């Protein structure tokens, strides 16, 4: 076991994939000489060469189109989108080509493309640099969408994504890049917990709290704080956003009778709505209260001085827990 930051864990996972398969190619803006704006790919071009770690033009659509051509020829391209809000020029390529080629060709063409997306807020950056666009892609059949929350998963799941013959959007919570944790670099990604499986990270009996990516840490802090008041929260790290591991969430809600879902993305049309609706259908007679969503507000991402009011924090999540439990609270008039 090695202590490493979230960013270094991704770097280590990418390195192992490059070592294990000569068909793996990294592509992105400034990922080579600079090592990426967050230094996640630092040192990889030096060790594997400019033909394996490729600095691309500032053209996301061209990057994705090139990745499609490489996948056609048997390569496993790993594309970095420099910031979440920069993905939209590549949106047509992803949803019209990458997501559909396998189905359209009746399995003759595989699209083993991994799309790394640093996402979410909390770093003091404006719109285009702090967004949470995951719902656009979870809505699109043919794409796998994952979001990791800790260094071990960051290391293992990036390797699983690269090994997958399906296209995978790999959402990295950028405000967690400097968080440290224990990483076992010897875990075989082929035998590790599947990337489409959710994990119960804190056991509890009163409320199920579902989170992913940057808010898993906040959710665990909420469970610790609630325990001081005698409230037992079960925290689930969703990990896979498409497909969703509803079996794990359902089993928890059948036990607790209450559901709170939190994410940074806006509430309307967000993944939390889909989770709440699906669990209501599956667990209607087990629910003691309506599911509660704690999310970002339905606004463009705000300026840095306001972002911590926009992002779900400890107080807002605990307020959601109170609402699910029918307890009086001071924030009950807030939406999201």
Give bridge partners of residue 294 from the DSSP assignment: 262
How far, in Å, CA of 204 to CA of 208, rounded? Answer: 8
Cβ contacts of 286 within 8 Å, gap of 6 or more: 253, 254, 257
Question: Which one-letter DSSP state was computed for residue 5?
Answer: E
Dihedral angle over CA of 45, 34, 58, 17, nearest 10: 30
The candidate with the shortest Cα–Cα distance to 86, out of 122, 126, 26, is 126
Region of 288 (left: φ > 0; alpha: ψ -120 to 50; beta: rest) is alpha
The candidate with the shortest Cα–Cα distance to 24, out of 55, 70, 89, is 70
Choosing from 51, 102, 129, 178, which is the catalytic residue? 129
**Residues 226-229: contacts with CB within 8 Å, 24+ apart?**
226/318, 226/321
Nearest-Å Rg of the Cα atoms of the chain is 20
With beta carbons less than 8 A apart as the criterion, state whether 6 and 177 touch.
yes
How far, in Å, CA of 183 to CA of 180, rounded? Answer: 9
Does residue 310 carry a catalytic annotation?
A: no
With beta carbons less than 8 A apart as the criterion, state whether 296 and 336 touch.
yes
Q: ∠ CA 195-197-198 to the nearest 5 degrees?
A: 115
Catalytic residues: 129
């Amino acid at each position: 076991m090695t202590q490493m930051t979230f960013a270094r864990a991704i770097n280590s996972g990418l390195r192992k994939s490059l070592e294990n398969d000569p068909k793996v190619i990294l592509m992105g803006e400034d990922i080579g000489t600079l090592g990426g704006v967050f230094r996640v790919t630092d040192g990889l071009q030096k060790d594997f060469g400019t033909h394996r770690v490729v600095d691309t033009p500032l053209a996301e659509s061209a990057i994705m189109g090139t990745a499609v051509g490489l996948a056609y020829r048997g390569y496993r391209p790993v594309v970095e989108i420099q910031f979440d809000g920069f993905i939209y020029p590549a949106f047509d390529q992803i949803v019209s080509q990458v997501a559909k080629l396998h189905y359209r060709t009746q399995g003759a063409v595989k699209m083993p493309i991994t799309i790394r997306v640093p996402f979410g807020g909390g770093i003091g950056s404006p719109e285009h640099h702090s967004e949470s666009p995951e719902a656009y892609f979870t809505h699109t059949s043919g794409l796998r969408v994952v979001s990791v929350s800790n260094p071990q998963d960051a290391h293992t799941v990036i390797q699983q994504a690269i090994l997958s013959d399906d296209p995978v959007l790999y959402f990295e919570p950028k405000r967690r890049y400097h968080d440290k944790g224990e990483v076992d670099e010897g875990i075989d990604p082929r035998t590790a917990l599947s990337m489409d499986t959710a994990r119960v990270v804190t056991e509890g009996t009163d409320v199920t709290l579902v989170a992913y990516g940057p808010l898993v840490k906040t959710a665990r802090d909420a469970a610790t704080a609630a325990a001081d008041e005698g409230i037992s929260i079960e925290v689930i790290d969703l990990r896979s956003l498409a497909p969703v591991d509803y079996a794990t969430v359902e089993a928890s809600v059948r036990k607790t009778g209450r559901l709170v879902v939190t994410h940074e993305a806006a509430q309307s049309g967000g993944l939390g709505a889909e989770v709440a609706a699906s669990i209501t259908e599956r667990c209607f007679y087990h629910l003691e209260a309506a599911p509660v969503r704690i999310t970002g507000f339905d606004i463009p991402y705000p300026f840095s001085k306001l972002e911590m009011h926009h992002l779900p924090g400890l107080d807002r999540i605990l307020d959601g827990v109170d609402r699910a439990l029918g307890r009086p609270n001071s924030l009950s008039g807030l939406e999201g």
